[in-house]
Amino acid sequence: MSNPEHLSKLRAGVGVWNAWRADNPGIKPDLRGADLQRIRLCGGDRDAEHYLNKLNSGQNLRDVRRDGADLREVDFRGANLTSSILSLCDLSGADLSETIMARTLVDSCILHETNLCWACMDEADANNAIFSECNLDRANLGKSSFTAARFSQCSFAQTSLFQCDLSSVEFKDCRISDSDMTYARLVRTRFIGGSLVDSNIYGVSVWDVQAELLHSANLRITPDEEPTVTVDDLDIAQFLYLVLENKRLRGVIEGMTGRMVLILGRFIQERKLVLDALRNQLRQLGYIAVLFDFDKPAGRDVTETVALLAHMSRFVLADITDPRSIPQELQRIAPSLPSVPIQPLILEGSAVYSMFADFGGYASFLPPVVYRNDDDLLEVLRNRVIPAIDARLAEIQKRRIEFDNALSRIGA
């Protein structure tokens, strides 16, 4: 059970508690099993940026003072902290094992060498918190928000991260094993070093994740009621599950290839209105516009991405006015895409670059269309470009049918 004197000091408020801690540095507070529901121990300044700057400069976590309660090395084992507010507190060295912390706010807190084993921390708010060398084994963190939190050298074994918001979280040298990350939100999440193994990642939302794990293996991408399928790469988990659900995949591919239009162009600032108008016009015509803005020279990765998207498109619009990287992209996609029409567009009075004539021999290329201004471009798109592309696609389909019929007649 908790020490009554220690509990009385804590209930007296942050000021009394911190003064008592400062006067008695040798005492390790005992709050085991205490009922601390809805207790408020937050600091007056909820902006922890200056503390984070100190940490980034290499200052020891224990040397960084907070505006919240000094809860270092407090024994909270089995305590009930439901719906409490511990914002900006220092929980370094505290023992929070087997505590109930449902809907507790620990945002912007420091947790260094903190024991959270078996803690029930569901639906908590730990945004911007710093976890260093913490034990989170068997903890229930389900539906909690950890946006922009930082985990360094922490252990997650058999931990529930079910439906957690892990957006912009950094996991550095952490060990995650046999854990449940079902439906977790991973947006700009960073995994640097460490490991992610033997865990369930079914339904995770993965967007712009940086995964530089030392070890990643046996990640389950199917729900419990279905046969187990595992992958070793977090980045491809969503895509591979979609492949397995082949009926959905066929629908997605058919929908994309039938409606997607790839737009290539160098839309510098003064021509952004052209871009917006072009995309809006395509939307009104029922297409999905995908833009590649070549304001900077394209590298190999960008070129390969453009080629992939071109293969999935119904047609390609290429504004060759001040083209920069577009010749490189067209040279990559034209030879391998005889069935995808490519429509060059150019502003009246602009010069066509010297090697452009070489594309005239490709079946996919339509003759360049000249437009006078922004409004004229939209008129050209609706009345000349789209009909010409539809006609070319119909011609390609007719040739394909004729070819198939010829094969049938010769028994091929």
Domain boundaries, the chain: 250-409
Of all helices (H) and strands (E), which one includes residue 206? strand 205-207
How far apart CA 340 and CA 295 sit, in angstroms, is 25
Q: What sign results for the dihedral spanned by CA atoms 380, 382, 386, 387? A: negative
DSSP string, 64-108: ---SS-B-TT-B-TT-B-TT-B-TT-B-TT-B-TT-B-TT-B-TT
275: tokens are 């871009």
Burial of 352: CB neighbours in 10 Å, binned 0-12, 13-18, 19+: middle
Give the three-class secondary structure for 272: helix
* Stated pTM of the model: 0.66
How far apart CA 100 and CA 186 sit, in angstroms, is 25
Topology given in CATH for the domain delimited by 250-409: Rossmann fold (3.40.50)
Residue pair 173/196 in contact by the 8 Å Cβ criterion: no
A 10 A CB-CB count for 229 gives: 13
Burial of 375: CB neighbours in 10 Å, binned 0-12, 13-18, 19+: exposed
Give the three-class secondary structure for 215: strand
Backbone angles phi, psi at 198, to 5 degrees: 50, 40
Where would I find the beta strands (DSSP E) of 113-194?
Answer: 130-132, 150-152, 155-157, 170-172, 175-177, 185-187, 190-192
List, for residues 88-127, the tens digit of each pLDDT value.
999 999 999 999 999 999 999 999 999 999 999 999 999 9
Beginning with the edge strand found earlier in the chain, give each strand of the sheet holding 260-265 in spatial order.
288-293, 260-265, 315-319, 342-347, 369-371
A 10 A CB-CB count for 146 gives: 27
DSSP category for residue 367: P
- Write out the chain's pLDDT in tens, 412 residues: 789 999 999 999 898 999 999 999 999 999 999 999 999 987 654 444 444 455 455 544 444 445 689 999 999 999 999 999 999 999 999 999 999 999 999 999 999 999 999 999 999 999 999 999 999 999 999 999 999 999 999 999 999 999 999 999 999 999 999 999 999 999 999 999 999 999 999 999 888 899 999 999 899 988 888 778 888 888 778 777 766 665 555 566 666 667 888 888 766 666 667 777 777 888 888 888 887 655 544 455 667 778 888 888 889 888 888 766 677 778 888 887 888 898 888 888 887 777 788 887 787 888 888 888 877 888 888 889 899 888 888 888 888 888 888 888 886 5
Quick one: which of 318, 320, 271, 326 has its CA closest to 296?
Answer: 326
Mean pLDDT (the chain, rounded):
84
